[in-house]
């Protein structure tokens, strides 16, 4: 086992222990929805006082065009809190922390281990004003840090602001749309769409979709879910990731920039263990994978596609 793999395994054990402990602490009447903190926005039709979630995902070994291969172990934790400041004004704050442990092997793009463990920390804050029972407007900011473990955190900072509109048609249909302008590591600022929908077309069916600013670009996803029986739900969805991060002073691109974009297609089995705690098992295929290596000025050094890879994981979500 490599040093990077041992580091990731140790963090994974800590995470699983923490998640198991959280199951014993969380209590209260709340609705659990199977969304991923770094992949799909929370159930936007519900406004919890506090939401906590975390996940562990393994992306299996995949060959990289031009030589070499890689596999990835990903885990994350997230918190969302909403405070009602007045009858019409809500204040929402989010915190997300993720760890991505890459294991490269062979030559080509993988030669010299272009990067190992990448961190991502995202803090967001937004105010939403309800114009009436159906319409609302929102505005806020986001701060993101995306460094390799030994990279300079200050050089990995990106951030920006957003504005949006919310519309609640009924108890079964909620939608939002907006735009965020986010700076990028060694690149021009990106204009990022922010959308969300939660639609119940029939008693047992739910359609969810969303996009949020993430490291380097957008985390966007969509899912169609069917409730088999009261505690169990099965969903088919896809997720699009854009990840851009600052590298440390080792490897083939010292203090450069790494990029990893992909499109997982996944099946989700969700189980509402209690009214406020849910466990979600995930399995699928990571398609459309692309890795890129840039120097410290953002000039491209290497860019390659990688083959589809198996995707398996679990998430735990609790609401108060």
CB 255 within 8 A of CB 296: yes
Taking alpha carbons only, the member of 198, 180, 178, 221 closest to residue 315 is 221
The pLDDT, as a whole number, for residue 43 is 44
Q: Which two tokens stand for residue 52?
A: 């906590």
pLDDT at 29: 27
**Model confidence over 33-92: pLDDT tens digits?**
333 434 444 444 445 578 899 999 999 999 999 899 999 999 999 999 999 999 999 999
CB 122, CB 94: distance < 8 Å: yes
For the chain, the average pLDDT equals 85
In the chain, where do the E strands start and end? 50-63, 69-84, 89-105, 117-130, 135-145, 157-170, 173-184, 187-202, 205-214, 217-229, 232-246, 257-272, 277-294, 300-306, 309-319
Residue ranges for the chain with pLDDT beneath 70? 1-48, 216-218
Residue 231 to residue 233: CA distance in whole angstroms: 7
- Provide the token pair at 268: 């989700």
CA 313 remoteness from chain centre: 13
pLDDT at 216: 66
Task: Supply the pLDDT for residue 48.
Answer: 55
Contacts of residue 272, defined as CB under 8 A and 6 or more positions apart, other chains included, come to 32, 230, 231, 232, 233, 278
- Report how far residue 226's alpha carbon sits from residue 237's, in angstroms, rounded to the nearest whole number: 12
Contact 220, 239 (CB under 8 A): yes
Residue 320: the pLDDT is: 77
Q: What is the pTM of this model?
A: 0.84
Distance CA 144, CA 154 (A): 10
pLDDT at 217: 67
């Amino acid at each position: 086992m490599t040093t990077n793999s041992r580091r990731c395994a140790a963090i994974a054990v800590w995470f699983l222990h923490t998640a198991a402990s959280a199951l014993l602490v969380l209590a209260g009447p709340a609705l659990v929805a199977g969304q991923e903190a770094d992949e799909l926005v929370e159930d936007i039709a519900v406004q919890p006082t506090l939401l906590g979630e975390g996940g562990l995902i393994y992306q299996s070994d995949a060959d990289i065009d031009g030589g070499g291969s890689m596999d990835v172990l990903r885990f994350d934790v997230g918190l969302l809190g909403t405070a009602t400041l007045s009858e019409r004004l809500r204040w929402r704050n989010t915190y997300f922390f993720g760890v991505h442990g890459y294991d490269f092997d062979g030559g080509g793009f993988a030669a010299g281990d272009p990067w190992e463990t990448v961190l991502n920390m995202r803090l967001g804050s937004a105010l939403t004003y309800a114009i009436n029972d159906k319409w609302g407007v929102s505005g806020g900011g986001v701060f993101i840090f995306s460094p390799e473990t030994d990279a300079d955190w200050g050089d990995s900072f990106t951030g920006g602001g957003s504005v949006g509109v919310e519309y609640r048609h009924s108890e079964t249909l909620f939608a939002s749309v907006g735009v965020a302008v986010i700076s990028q590591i060694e690149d021009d600022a990106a204009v990022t769409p922010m959308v969300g929908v939660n639609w119940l077309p029939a008693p047992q069916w739910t359609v969810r979709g969303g996009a949020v600013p993430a490291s380097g670009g957008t985390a966007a996803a969509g899912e169609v879910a069917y409730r088999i029986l009261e505690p169990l739900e099965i969903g088919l969805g896809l997720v699009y990731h854009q990840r851009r991060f600052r590298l440390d002073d080792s490897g083939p691109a010292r203090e450069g920039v790494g990029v990893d974009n992909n499109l997982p297609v996944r099946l989700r089995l969700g189980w509402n263990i209690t009214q406020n705690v849910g466990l979600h098992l995930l399995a699928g295929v990571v398609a459309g994978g692309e890795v890129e290596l840039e120097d410290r000025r953002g000039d491209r050094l290497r860019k390659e596609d990688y083959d589809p890879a198996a995707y398996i994981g679990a998430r735990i979500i609790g609401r108060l």
